[in-house]
Amino acid sequence: MTALRQSGFDRVIHELRESSVPILGICVGMQMLFEYSSESGGHEGLGLIPGQVRRLEGSRRLPQMQWNQLELVEEAGDLYRGVESKAWVYFVHSYAVPSSDYATAYSFYGQRFVASIQSGRIFGTQYHPEKSSRAGIELLSNFVSYAKGSRR
């Protein structure tokens, strides 16, 4: 967040949101969308999504670097069109959001955590869709289609 603020890119993200431009945060990018993170001694996030990012608990090895299954919520939204409900996706992280009213999918690694979110035109994935085979390609394709459609 420090580097993001020093570069002024945090203001750009807020301007994009105010202009109704779709935003997709991936991994740490999703975490920065929230109000607060306990990582690196704690810091404020962009505050675009209510909630806090916390270190994963339990005795599991961190960072989690592996494939995990998604658990899509009932109204997972447009990004998950064509993605199977228990799709395998690739995670690399030690911090996550435990729960959120904006969750579109969850996963489990010693504890249940938010795997993806959506609030209006703001989207985020804790996992890496670019490394997640067919499910990830489908999600990215759906985001591009959504972004193209939102310009009309």
Residues designated as active site: 27, 128, 130
Using H for helix, E for strand and C for coil, what is the string for 68-119?
Answer: EECEECCCCCHHHCCCCCCCEEEEEECEECCCCCCEEEEEECCCEEEEEEEE
91, 98, 92: which is closest to 53 by C-alpha? 98
User: Which residue bears the tokens 């935003």?
Assistant: 23
